[in-house]
Amino acid sequence: MILTTTATLRFASALSRLTDAAAAGRAVAQAVRQQIGEDPIDLAFLFFSNHYSARAESLCAAVRKEAGPRVLLGCSGEGVIAGGEEIETDPAVTLWAARLPGVRVSPLRLCFSRELDRFSVGGWPDAQTIGAGPVFVLLADPFSIPMKEVLAMLEERYPGAVAIGGLAGGGHDVGENRMVLGDDVYDGGLVGVALSGPVSIGTVISQGCRPIGDRYVVTKAEHNVIHELGGAPALERLQALFESISGEERQIAQRALHLGIVIDEHRNRFERGDFLVRNLIGADQSTGAVAVGDIVQEGQTVQFHLRDAKSAHEDLNLLLAAYRTQRRKAPLGALLFSCCGRGEGLFGRPHHDVSVLRERLGDIPIAGFFAQGEIGPVGGSNFLHGYTASVALFSEPDS
C-alpha cells in the first residue's frame, strides 16, 4: 500500500490476493480509503486477473461501497501490476485511486457492431465537456473493438489529444474479458476517461527494441507489403542484414526481428523513440517482398529492429531517464500497461518493468495490468502497440 500526497493531487494504491471477489474488493477499497482519508476519490482504476471475471460484479460493488469513487474504471488482465510486484499467473486485484481537485473527469463508453460495421457511442462526452488538451485513458476488449479505428476517430474529434491504455486480457474468446465503468460490468467494448485541467499526465512508450543495420527509404510498397528498400528487393536487404550481424544477434533476429517506421521524416537523425515498431509477418521468396504488420508508404524511412531482454531493459531505462530530465515536476503516481509478452518470460526474472519504474521514479503509487495490446503516443500520434510498456505519469502541472 502506497500513498503520495501534495497540496492538491493525491494518489494511492493497494493490492489483494484474496481469492473471494467481494473480500478482495473490500480489502483494496478499505486500504485506499484509509490512505486517501475522507476526501473524495475522483478517479479509481480496478484491475484484476481472470480468476475474478465470473464474480466481477461482486468485486466492483464492494469497491464502490467501501471507497465510493466518483468515477470507477477497470478491466481484467493477463496479470496484475501493483506496487512493486507483477503477478502474472496467481489471483490478484489492485485498486489505484486519485484525488484530482479541479480536474475534469469525463467517463466514456464505446461499442462496435460488426454486423452494421459502425460504432455505438454511449455517454461519450462532447469536446466542450471534456475541455482543452484532454488525455484519454482507454481500456478495450481486443475481440470486440477495432482499436485502430477508435484512435482514428479520436484524432478526428480531438486533434492532438493523447491516448494511453491497454487491451483487456485473461479471456481467450469473445465475451470472456471484463470491462468496468461505474456500477456496470461489460463483456466487451471500450471504457475510458478523458482528463483535462490542473494535472500533468506524461507518457513513456517503451517499445523495447534497438535499431540494427542500415536505414532505407521504401521505394516500392503496396498496403502492408514492401517490395523494395532503397531500390533493391526488400528480402535481399533483409538477407544482407542477417549476413552482417553476429551469430548471437542472428539467433535473436530469427525469433524477434521487427521493422521500425520513422514517424517524423523532418528530423536530422533518428534514434530510439523515433520509430513505430511493427512485426515482420512474412516474406515471398519468388517476388522478394516482405510483409509488415501495418500500412507502409513509399518514401518512408525504415530500419530493422531487434527485440530482446537487454534492449527492452535499456529502452525503458533510457526513456524514463529522459522523461525525468525534461520534466520539472516529479511524478506522484503512475499507471503501467505492459504487454503480456514481456514479464518474466522475456526478462527471465519477475517484476522487471515495475521495478525499473520504482528505481527511476521513486516509491510512488503504481498499478496496471498485463495487456494484449498497449495504447500510447509515438511521434505525436496515438498507436496500438505490441510488446510495449506504456506508462502514464501523473504530476502537478508546470506553473
Which of 272, 307, 342 corresponds to the end of one domain?
307
Averaged pLDDT score across all residues of the chain:
91
Same domain, 106 and 249: no
Q: Tell me the C-alpha to C-alpha distance, in Å, between residue 345 and each of 248, 279, 309, 349, 351.
A: 19, 19, 9, 8, 11
Identify the CATH number of the domain in which residue 231 sits. Answer: 2.40.30
pLDDT tens column, 383-394: 999 999 999 999
pLDDT tens column, 312-367: 999 999 999 999 998 878 999 999 999 999 999 999 999 999 999 999 999 999 99
Same domain, 129 and 83: yes
Domain that holds residue 7: 2-206+313-395
Which of 285, 307, 329 corresponds to the end of one domain?
307
Q: Do strands 366-371 and 333-339 pair parallel, antiparallel, or not at all (unpaired)?
A: parallel
Threshold 0.85, pTM exceeds: yes
How confident is the model over 10-29, as a mean pLDDT? 97
Residue 5 has pLDDT above 50, yes or no: no
Same domain, 17 and 148: yes
Same domain, 303 and 334: no
Same domain, 89 and 23: yes
Cα atoms in the Cβ-side hemisphere of radius 13 Å centred on 378: 24
Residue 128 has pLDDT above 50, yes or no: yes
* Number of domain units in the chain: 2
Query: What is the pLDDT at residue 26?
Result: 98
Same domain, 202 and 216: no
Residue 155 has pLDDT above 50, yes or no: yes
Same domain, 46 and 155: yes
More confident residue, 44 or 326: 44
Residue 259 near residue 280 (C-beta atoms within 8 A): yes
Q: Cell numbers for 198, please give them.
A: 490542473
Same domain, 67 and 118: yes
